[in-house]
């Protein structure tokens, strides 16, 4: 420039510009949040974000005691990122951290130790499993853990209820600027749907990868615009733990019977028309539904407009056969899902926000016709528990359960009447994760039970000649077979809070006696 074109006097003379700044030099003004790493370049842009160690990344992220850090769980039981990062954080002497993971899995037992040492004092997650879940049920945390659905977690992050200071995101591949995906690399996980929300909203984002590729990476699930640092490590996940392997078709006669009943109900509902949509899980009955429904689609010459949710090989092959037109994939449940998202453009990765947030302008769940969901317990009011065992101990995950149930035209809970000697259909669930008024149909091996809130569905089922079974009869039958279930015994202390997808508090979990 040299010549001064604009000065304070000139700005003062233009209405509305009295407080504006005149140009100084190309990089004179930067947002407060700009990292030191970038400022060090004094007017030059950074051309790499790769740091030499996790410790360096943690230091440069500005992490402080009391802050909130986050992780995703796309590597599931094979995750090596959380243990690796937490070890460095603990060694560096941090205390009083809140750890907000999209879920905790069997790979995260180490968390108990960090809680006991005071490194971690607060936990927020969709799921809690293994030793961590047991320890929390035993009261190891001073503040209650927060359980959110996948859509609820996205909402909380977007709305600022859950502010993440530093997100540590394991990614199967990244380039030096932070363009990352889950389909290229040594340890692929497919969709990075949960991580996408953290990357977008966390103040600082550290990517951890074992596959650093040339710039620019392709495809881009997490863009460089959201990433502060990239750290290369030996291994981010154990491929055997990441995926449970190819999903297998169940031979369990009870599950097959349930699946057949589900398909009957879907057909009779009136929603099973060309262009219908569905979400099913990865359980035995759910997978069997996927197979049976395929036969019905072929028979009628109709197809599914989109399949949603955690994706399996079963849906991937329906996509390839053209019976499903599009897959929205927030998470892959098996290697077949991963292979499909890698090669098929119609198998589309979506963020947890797109999947299920109740507060955006419409999530993918909003257009669902059918969702097939499992249950640890379901009660007289159709309330569903998917987080705690009948013994009161936390053991599973909220997931997208309540999100899909709230929005689908017909939400179907599949559950056996008993598991072993344990009644599943009971008077009162231990913990409510999905409110009964969002559950339309329960399918057990005894048949189809309709929520009285849906007389329209009941009428359709009856018109189709289906025999229905009342909730009262189911519970009676379960009691007859298993006796009155033993109630879990709790103390008064609240160890976890179950947040509904809209941020209201749905239930609490208490310390077990």
- Binding residues for a copy of itself restricted to 285-344, rule: CB under 8 A: 305-306, 325-326, 328
Distance of CA 34 to the CA centre of its chain: 30
How far lies 428's CA from each of 136, 256, 279, in Å?
A: 22, 27, 26
Burial class of residue 372 in the structure, from the number of CB atoms within 10 Å of its CB (0-12 exposed, 13-18 middle, 19+ buried): buried
> Which of 159, 472 has the CB closer to a copy of itself?
159
Q: In terms of CB distance, is 178 or 416 closer to a copy of itself?
A: 178
Q: Which member of 17, 59, 91, 248 binds a copy of itself (CB under 8 A)?
A: 17
Q: In terms of DSSP bridges, do strands 418-419 and 422-423 run parallel, antiparallel, or are they unpaired? A: antiparallel
Provide the minimum distance between the beta carbon of 435 and a copy of itself in the complex, in angstroms, as a whole number.
Answer: 5
In the complex, what is the shortest distance from the CB of residue 230 to a copy of itself, in angstroms, rounded to a whole number? 11
Closest approach of a copy of itself to the CB of residue 43, in Å: 9
Question: In whole angstroms, what is the distance from residue 513 CA to residue 267 CA?
Answer: 46
Q: Would you give the binding string for a copy of itself spanning residues 223-252, x where CB under 8 A is met? A: xxxxxx------------------------
Among 361, 421, 486, 513, the residue binding a copy of itself under the rule CB under 8 A is: 361
Binding of a copy of itself by 491 (CB under 8 A):
no
Contacts of 408 (CB under 8 A, 6+ apart): 279, 365, 368, 369, 370, 371, 440
**For a copy of itself, which residue of 116, 159, 295, 489 counts as binding (CB under 8 A)?**
159
Least Cβ distance, residue 352 to a copy of itself (angstroms): 11
Which residue of 59, 117, 218, 248 would you call a contact of a copy of itself, by CB under 8 A?
218
Positions 73 through 112 that interact with a copy of itself (CB under 8 A): none
Q: Which of 85, 115, 506, 512 binds a copy of itself (CB under 8 A)?
A: 506
Alpha-carbon distance 442 to 425, whole Å? Answer: 10
CB 200 → a copy of itself: shortest distance, Å? 10
Q: What is the strand order of the sheet 425-426 is part of?
A: 384-385, 377-379, 425-426
Q: Is 49 in the site for a copy of itself (CB under 8 A)?
A: yes
- Bin 270: left if φ > 0, else alpha if -120 < ψ < 50, else beta: left
Whichever of 11 and 393 has its CB closer to a copy of itself, that residue is 11
Question: 329 forms bridges with which residues in the sheet?
Answer: 309, 349
Identify which of 188, 302, 296, 204 has the alpha carbon closest to the alpha carbon of residue 243.
Answer: 188
Q: Which residues of 209-230 are buried (b: 16+ CB within 10 A; e: fewer)?
A: bbbbbeeebeeebbbbebbbbb
Residue 174 CB, shortest distance to a copy of itself, in Å, is 13
Residues 395-454 binding a copy of itself (CB under 8 A) are: 406-407, 428, 432, 435-438
Token digits of residue 438: 């969002």
Which residues ranging from 171 to 210 are in contact with a copy of itself (CB under 8 A)? 177-178, 205
């Amino acid at each position: 420039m040299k010549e001064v074109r604009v000065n304070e006097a000139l700005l003062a003379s233009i209405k509305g510009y009295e407080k504006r700044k005149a140009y100084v030099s190309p990089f004179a003004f930067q947002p407060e949040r700009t990292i030191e790493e970038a400022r060090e370049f004094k007017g030059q842009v950074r051309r790499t974000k790769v740091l030499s160690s996790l410790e360096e990344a943690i230091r440069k992220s500005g992490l402080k005691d009391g802050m909130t850090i986050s992780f995703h769980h796309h590597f599931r039981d094979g995750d090596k990122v959380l243990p690796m990062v937490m070890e460095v954080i603990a060694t560096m002497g941090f205390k009083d951290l809140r750890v907000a993971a999209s879920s905790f899995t069997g790979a995260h037992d180490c968390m108990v130790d960090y809680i006991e040492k005071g490194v971690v004092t607060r936990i927020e997650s969709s799921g809690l499993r293994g030793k961590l879940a047991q320890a929390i049920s035993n009261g190891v945390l001073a503040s209650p853990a927060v359980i959110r659905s996948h859509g609820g977690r996205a909402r909380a992050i977007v709305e600022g209820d859950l502010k993440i200071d530093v997100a540590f995101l394991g990614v199967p591949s990244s380039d030096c600027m932070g363009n990352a995906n889950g389909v290229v690399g040594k340890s692929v996980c497919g969709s990075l749907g949960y991580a996408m929300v953290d990357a977008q909203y966390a103040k600082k984002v550290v990517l951890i990868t074992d596959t650093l590729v040339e710039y620019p990476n392709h495809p881009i699930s997490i863009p460089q615009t959201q990433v502060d640092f990239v750290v290369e490590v030996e291994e981010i996940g154990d491929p055997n733990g990441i995926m449970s392997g190819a999903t297998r078709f169940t031979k369990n006669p009870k599950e097959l019977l349930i699946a057949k009943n589900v398909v009957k109900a879907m057909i009779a509902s009136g929603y099973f028309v060309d262009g219908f949509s569905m979400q099913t899980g990865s359980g035995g009955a759910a997978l069997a539904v996927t197979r049976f429904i395929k036969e019905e689609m072929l028979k009628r010459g109709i197809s599914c407009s989109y399949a949603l949710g955690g994706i399996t090989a079963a849906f991937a092959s329906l996509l390839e056969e053209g019976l499903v037109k599009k897959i929205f994939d927030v998470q892959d449940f098996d290697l077949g899902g991963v292979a499909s998202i890698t090669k098929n453009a119609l198998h589309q990765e979506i963020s947890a926000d797109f999947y299920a947030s109740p507060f955006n302008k419409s999530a993918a769940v909003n257009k669902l016709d059918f969702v097939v969901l499992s249950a640890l317990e379901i009660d007289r009011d159709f309330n569903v528990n998917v987080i705690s065992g009948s013994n009161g101990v936390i053991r599973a995950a909220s997931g997208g359960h309540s999100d899909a149930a709230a929005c689908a035209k017909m939400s179907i809970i599949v559950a056996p009447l008993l598991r072993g000697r344990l009644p599943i259909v009971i008077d009162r669930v231990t913990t409510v994760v999905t409110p009964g008024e969002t559950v339309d149909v329960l399918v057990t091996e005894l048949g189809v039970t309709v929520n009285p809130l849906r007389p329209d569905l009941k009428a359709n089922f009856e018109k189709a000649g289906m025999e229905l079974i009342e909730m009262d009869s189911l519970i009676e039958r379960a009691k007859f077979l298993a006796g009155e279930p033993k109630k879990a015994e709790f103390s008064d202390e609240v160890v976890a809070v179950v947040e509904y997808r809209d941020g209201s508090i749905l239930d609490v979990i208490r310390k077990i006696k």
